[in-house]
Chains A and B, each alone.
Chain A
Amino acid sequence: MNDHAAHAHDDAHDVPFLEDGKGWKSWLFTLDHKRIGVMYLWSVLIAFAAGGVFALLLRLELMAPGKQYIEADTYNRFFTLHGAIMVFLFIIPAIPSAMGNFVLPLMLGAKDVAFPRLNLLSFWIYGIGSIMALSSIVFGGVETGWTFYTPYSTNTSGAVVMMTLSVFVLGFSSILTGLNFIVTIHKMRAPGMSFFRMPLFVWATYATSILQVMATPVLGITLLLLVAERTLGIGIFDPALGGDPVLYQHFFWFYSHPAVYIMILPGMGVISEIITVFSRKTIFGYRAIAYSSLGIAIISFLVWGHHMFLSGQSAYAGMVFSFLTFLVAIPSAIKVFNWTATLYKGSISFDAPMMWTLSFMVLFTIGGLTGLFLGALGVDVHLHDTYFVVAHFHYVMMGGTVIAFYAGLHYWWPKMFGVMYREGPAKFSAIIVFIGFNATFFTQFVLGTRGMPRRYYNYLDQYQPLHQFSTFGSWIIGLGFIVMTVNLLASFKQKVKAPANPWGARTLEWSIPSPPITHNFHKTPVVTEGPYDFPVEGQAASGAEGKHA
């Protein structure tokens, strides 16, 4: 099965994984989950930059009604690319593939993921999918929105087939990553690590993997049907040929609502890790958070119809979906309350990861609460497809997942690269992004309630002042992320050596040198207690510090 038998014995190979092999071949053909995680990290950061640039271009165009500097057609292509790149190229692979690949085996005390070659294949498939997606710009561009609603997507010109095939390929990468993680979590935990001694990030990744494995295939078949619709004129979704566009929306949203939980669940996992370490207190309600991750994963399959209340779906189905949508709000609320309670009687320090986490707490709370407006049928009629929806999902996806991703990046950066970044700029960028974010997207709530539709290139004059303010806000966000990126990249030049456990965390990945050696652990660790057993003031630290080698 594995021809690595050559260096099976561990001690001969104590070289940190970054130095274990030079040249691009050692990177592109590596089977080491840490290297694959780092490669994913650079790809998703580039994707985030590209998506971010399109966002700024869109906001610039919306400065005032009418043509500012691009045509309507170009604007439509920009918002499609902004949506597609951010969703498929950045936010779905970001935390599960980039951080999950790096951290999960370390947290479980395993040498690698269950199927290393499948892991590398997932990265290659992600690379091929991204190239196909970006090349669709050259072949005529796509201007259907990232949702590809039929019959517009089947009757319009442009490279829709190329983009849908690229998303199909990217979906495969997501399925294989999820599959790999579920087997790793079930089969490769360190001895003594029962399911309730696993860190909460592992629980969140487990729930995310279930969603990735169980929901993404339906996206695959949806896109295959869309390609068949465009090439063979099958007629399943095109009313001119006897099909039904609402059936497409059922297919699409059956994947896409679990997909939004694929995006937020890992973010919640990262927050559970960071909030405990920086308040030096055990998590409040470990089982509640673990079970609510699984609860969200299961219930997320029941609620997709709330995207279609006004799309011609029957009012009866709308009511059923609205009721179930309110059920899925409860596990998220439980998590937020548990995180807040974790801070109680802790010893809270405001390092960079904690600053990003506190900003997450505020923004995700607003994002979650505004979901109640859109879930209630009566109000959704007025708010559907307006800027209120745009603000809601940006608060949850950007205020939630993206800020949790950067909190995790600042938290695991010393472990990944063995270098510390400067605290000052990291904290400063967290504050700037928080301010810019609220300036940009809170105004969009007001735009939405006042009736400003989404995906509008030209709009009524009454919305102009708010749009202008929102555009200024987007510049502040751009500034914040530039400061953060420069600060993180500068850490490579400053070469400030990072200790093995800079934050005093108790999970397994901090018990090994940073950056870790290729085979992670000299001797497979034996776990004897939970992941968050912090000592209490005045009491001797529970058990010897070095409980695992």
Chain B
Amino acid sequence: MNIGIVRRQHAHHFATADQEFSASKLGMWLFLVTEVLLFGGLFVGYAYGKSVYPEMWHEASKHLDWKLGALNTLFLITSSFTMVMAVNAAQRNKAGEMNGKMVGYLIATIALAGCFLVVKYFEYSHKFHDGMLPGIYYTYSGVQNANAHYFFGLYFLMTGLHGFHVVVGMILLGWVLVRATKGHFYSEYYTPVEVGGLYWHLVDLIWIYLFPLLYLVG
């Protein structure tokens, strides 16, 4: 569907389009660092919990279904790949000939994110049903060691905050998709796709660490 492209003039307070592009990327990288530090706080909480309650930590992490975690990892890695292919398509989209590919890859990325959330829904509903809930709502009696609610508290915080960021990512990429269908992105101007991609890769990056820490090594 070659609907051509819509040319764009860079913002007036920037001297050149390139200056605007590199400014946006630096701005995004700074935002990604704040996300890394935000999740970093939770990882320090994890490190504290694991060092003070090692046996409980190991036993409680056994109750997480690592197969679903692995499936989610595959979803996110694939969606990272499709995202990066979308950016590549945008870069090579001289006059709208790559629009179709770009839109296709974006749709794939959002769809995979949806699958990730569906799998997460199953995991959470299973835990809600068993009572493996954080803090004072913890009524599960399977874990022998005391304070298992500490582990599940952190589990829900980490995966919940990550899930929230996946939802925000889907909304962000949905907005990029809408503009892509209108032909806004071409080889001269594809910043939103690139910036959206950076955000999405970071969400994947955080899951790459969450998965082994919570599901495998525990």
Contact residues of A with B, CB < 8 Å? 1-2, 4-5, 8, 110-112, 114-116, 118, 175, 178-180, 182-183, 186-188, 213-218, 220-222, 224-225, 228-229, 232-236, 241-244, 247, 250-251, 524
Question: Which of B13, B22, B42, B136 is in CB contact (< 8 Å) with A110?
Answer: B13
- What number of residue pairs across chains A and B have CB atoms under 8 A from each other? 130
Inter-subunit contact A114/B12 (CB<8 Å): no
Contact residues of B with A, CB < 8 Å? 8-15, 19-20, 22-23, 26-27, 30-31, 33-35, 37-42, 44-45, 48-49, 52-53, 134-137, 146-147, 149-150, 153-154, 157, 161, 191
Given A2-B11, A187-B26, A217-B34, is A225 in contact with B45 using a C-beta cutoff of 8 Å? yes
B53 contacts which chain A residues (CB < 8 A)? 242
Looking at the assembled complex, report how far the CB atom of B60 sits from the nearest CB atom of chain A, in whole angstroms. 12
Inter-subunit contact A235/B149 (CB<8 Å): yes
Inter-subunit contact A5/B37 (CB<8 Å): no
Inter-subunit contact B27/A221 (CB<8 Å): no
- For the complex with contacts A186-B26, A244-B52, 15 further pairs of A-B residues with Cβ separation under 8 Å are A179-B34, A180-B27, A187-B19, A188-B23, A213-B33, A214-B37, A217-B40, A218-B41, A220-B41, A221-B37, A225-B45, A232-B137, A236-B48, A242-B147, A247-B48
User: Would you list the 4 A-B pairs with minimal beta carbon distance, nearest first?
Assistant: A221-B41, A233-B135, A233-B136, A242-B147
B137 contacts which chain A residues (CB < 8 A)? 232-233
CA distance in complex: A8, B38 (Å)? 39
Inter-subunit contact A234/B19 (CB<8 Å): no
CA distance in complex: A140, B30 (Å)? 37
Inter-subunit contact A234/B134 (CB<8 Å): yes
CA distance in complex: A187, B28 (Å)? 14
Closest A residue, CB atoms, query B8: A1
Given A235-B150, A241-B149, A247-B45, is A2 in contact with B12 using a C-beta cutoff of 8 Å? yes
CA distance in complex: A227, B214 (Å)? 23
Q: List 17 A-B contacts (CB under 8 A).
A: A1-B8, A1-B11, A110-B13, A114-B23, A175-B34, A179-B27, A179-B30, A186-B23, A186-B26, A188-B23, A217-B37, A218-B37, A233-B149, A234-B134, A236-B45, A241-B135, A242-B149
Looking at the assembled complex, report how far the CB atom of B131 sits from the nearest CB atom of chain A, in whole angstroms. 14
Inter-subunit contact A187/B153 (CB<8 Å): no
Inter-subunit contact B11/A232 (CB<8 Å): no
Question: Which of B23, B35, B135 is in CB contact (< 8 Å) with A235?
Answer: B135
Inter-subunit contact A216/B19 (CB<8 Å): no
Looking at the assembled complex, report how far the CB atom of A513 sits from the nearest CB atom of chain B, in whole angstroms. 19
Closest A residue, CB atoms, query B135: A233
Question: Which of B8, B13, B37, B52 is in CB contact (< 8 Å) with A116?
Answer: B13
CA distance in complex: A535, B96 (Å)? 59
Inter-subunit contact A251/B41 (CB<8 Å): yes
B149 contacts which chain A residues (CB < 8 A)? 233-235, 241-242
Closest B residue, CB atoms, query A118: B27
Closest A residue, CB atoms, query B157: A228
Given A187-B19, A232-B137, is A244 in contact with B13 using a C-beta cutoff of 8 Å? no
Looking at the assembled complex, report how far the CB atom of A319 sits from the nearest CB atom of chain B, in whole angstroms. 21
Given A182-B26, A213-B30, A235-B150, is A220 in contact with B135 using a C-beta cutoff of 8 Å? no
Closest B residue, CB atoms, query A237: B45
Closest A residue, CB atoms, query B11: A2
A2 contacts which chain B residues (CB < 8 A)? 11-13
Looking at the assembled complex, report how far the CB atom of A395 sits from the nearest CB atom of chain B, in whole angstroms. 31
Given A4-B12, A235-B135, A235-B150, is A217 in contact with B19 using a C-beta cutoff of 8 Å? no
A243 contacts which chain B residues (CB < 8 A)? 150
B23 contacts which chain A residues (CB < 8 A)? 114-115, 183, 186-188
B19 contacts which chain A residues (CB < 8 A)? 187-188
Inter-subunit contact B154/A236 (CB<8 Å): yes
Given A4-B12, A179-B27, A182-B26, is A225 in contact with B20 using a C-beta cutoff of 8 Å? no
A250 contacts which chain B residues (CB < 8 A)? 44
Inter-subunit contact B45/A4 (CB<8 Å): no
CA distance in complex: A178, B33 (Å)? 12
B35 contacts which chain A residues (CB < 8 A)? 217
B15 contacts which chain A residues (CB < 8 A)? 524
Inter-subunit contact B9/A5 (CB<8 Å): yes
Question: Which of B22, B33, B39, B134 is in CB contact (< 8 Å) with A187?
Answer: B22
Given A4-B12, A111-B13, A216-B34, is A183 in contact with B135 using a C-beta cutoff of 8 Å? no
A110 contacts which chain B residues (CB < 8 A)? 13
Question: Which of A187, A217, A241 is in CB contact (< 8 Å) with B150?
Answer: A241
Inter-subunit contact B42/A221 (CB<8 Å): yes
Inter-subunit contact B153/A179 (CB<8 Å): no
